[in-house]
């Protein structure tokens, strides 16, 4: 690799980082990709791993495999601990550093507990494969422990599963878990009837899917209730532990609690010493650069940028990909001698959420769809964006099997250090 070429360092191999790298193909640069994990994750389907519909290998791919044909890219497995802006170096936990000419931070987000980090051991969030397998283990172990429990009250607590947060992830988790309990596991236990499991979705706001049109929120609410989910609105969780949750002053005993209520950015703002919003997202310039550092870009869930309507650019995969492509175009323009600032313009492609295996809500702005047609369009869209043919085929066959039989094959209880499971 030509060491004299402009060196672009990308931190994070998510949607934004990979799209940037793809768009820089053929440019006179050398690229170093740094990630603390060795795989790229298709996060929109992560909940399906957590709820036993898909295997981990169906939604994740080794970064080195994805970039194997790019001789201009060096992939490093490492954890970033800071950024030396003056010296233009990325600092790693092992004490080493990587020099850059242009730095792109695409480090994603983590779950946030609104000042109650002590809740995390009792209510895991869903951002990584490790989170998904932890949640899968807790859900399946709840039924296994209920099978052995003879005390009726304790058994009911084991058969009560709570999801906190009524956004797309919470809605998708609730719909799939209730189908798992009522359909997939039915008849497999001798001492319990899994159809007696209670799935409760708690949302502090006045409706679920708050970013969707009100009529789609209402549709999703009714669809969840038809499946058997109890939807609780307008009551925030105020206490949470291994015995259950308190919301709206009421205590609900539950042994399985899942968190889908909030996100916080990676520590990128701390690394940079930059200003951030309340969620830790870096306050960036319209061209996606860090104020005072035109050689540093921040994209995806780590960035805070307002749209012309005053709303922030959402932390979704399409936004990250658009930003990655925009930054690549800016880098190429600069290398060609054009340093004119290029403001980013976000194009909203729509909002999608699935409710179980036969319904979904889709809001494209110009058209809104619900029901089985929306579910099929949701599935086609997700399969299209999977990276390779093998995964598209595997996911398609898994979904067809679940749709036809109700059975989910990825019901493995893997071992872990989760002492709350």
Catalytic residues, by residue number, are: 172
* CA pair distance 208, 197, nearest whole angstrom: 22
Q: What share of the chain is helix, strand, coil (3-state, %, to 5)?
A: 35, 25, 40
- Cα–Cα dist 22/66, whole Å: 10
The DSSP code sequence of 162-191 is: EEE--SHHHHHHHHHHHHIIIIISTTS-SS
Residues 6+ apart with CB under 8 A from 327: 20, 104, 288, 297, 299
> What's the CA gap between 73 and 356, in Å, rounded?
40
Buried b (16+ CB within 10 A) or exposed e, 365-390: eeebbbeeebbeebbeebeeebeeee
**CA-CA distance, 75 to 63, in Å (whole number)?**
8
Query: What phi, psi does 77 have (nearest 5°)?
Result: -90, 115
Which pairing describes strands 80-84 and 89-92: parallel, antiparallel, or unpaired? antiparallel
Distance, CA of 132 to CA of 56 (rounded, Å): 9
- Residues pairing with 298 in the sheet: 105
CB 99 within 8 A of CB 7: yes
Q: Are 75 and 33 in contact (CB under 8 A)?
A: yes
Cα separation, 24 vs 8, whole angstroms: 10
* Residue whose pair of structure tokens reads 């990250």 in the numeric block: 320
Give, in order, the Cα–Cα distances in Å from 157 to each of 149, 197, 245, 253. 10, 9, 11, 5
End-to-end CA distance of the chain: 48
């Amino acid at each position: 690799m030509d060491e004299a070429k402009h060196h672009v360092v990308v931190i994070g191999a998510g949607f934004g980082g990979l799209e940037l790298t793809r768009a820089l193909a053929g440019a006179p640069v050398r690229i170093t990709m740094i990630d603390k994990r060795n795989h790229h994750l298709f996060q929109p389907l992560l909940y399906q791993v957590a709820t036993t519909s898909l295997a981990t290998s169906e939604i994740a791919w080794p970064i080195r495999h994805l970039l194997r044909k790019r001789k201009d890219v060096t992939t490093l497995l490492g954890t970033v601990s800071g950024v030396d802006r003056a010296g233009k170096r990325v600092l790693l936990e092992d004490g080493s550093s990587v020099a850059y000419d242009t730095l792109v931070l695409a480090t994603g987000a983590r779950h946030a507990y609104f000042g109650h980090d002590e809740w995390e051991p009792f209510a895991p969030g869903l951002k990584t494969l490790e989170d998904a397998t932890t949640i899968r283990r807790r859900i399946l172990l709840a039924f296994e422990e209920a099978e052995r429990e003879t005390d009726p009250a304790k058994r009911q607590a084991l058969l009560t599963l709570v999801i906190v947060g009524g956004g797309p992830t919470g809605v998708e988790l609730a719909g799939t878990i209730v189908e798992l309990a009522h359909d997939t596991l039915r008849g497999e236990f001798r001492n319990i009837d899994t159809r007696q499991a209670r799935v409760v979705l708690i949302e502090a706001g006045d409706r679920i899917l708050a970013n969707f049109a009100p009529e789609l929120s209402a549709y999703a609410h009714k669809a969840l209730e038809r499946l058997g989910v109890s939807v609780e609105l307008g009551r925030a969780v105020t206490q949470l532990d291994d015995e259950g949750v308190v919301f709206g002053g009421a205590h609900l005993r539950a042994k399985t609690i899942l968190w889908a209520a909030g996100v916080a950015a990676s520590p990128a703002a701390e690394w940079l010493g930059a200003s951030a919003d309340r969620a830790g997202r870096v306050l960036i310039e319209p061209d996606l650069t860090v104020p005072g550092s035109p050689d540093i870009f921040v994209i995806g869930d780590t960035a805070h940028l307002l749209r012309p309507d005053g709303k922030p650019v959402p932390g979704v995969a399409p936004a990250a990909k658009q930003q990655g492509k925009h930054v690549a175009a800016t880098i190429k323009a600069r290398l060609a001698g054009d340093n004119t600032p290029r403001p980013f313009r976000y194009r909203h492609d729509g909002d999608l959420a699935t409710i179980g295996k036969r319904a979904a809500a889709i809001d494209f702005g110009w058209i809104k769809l619900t029901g089985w047609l929306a579910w099929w369009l949701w599935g086609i869209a997700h399969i299209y964006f999977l990276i390779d043919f093998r995964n598209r085929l595997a996911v398609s066959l898994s979904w067809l099997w679940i749709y036809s039989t109700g059975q989910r094959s990825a019901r493995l209880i893997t071992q872990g250090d989760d002492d709350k499971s």
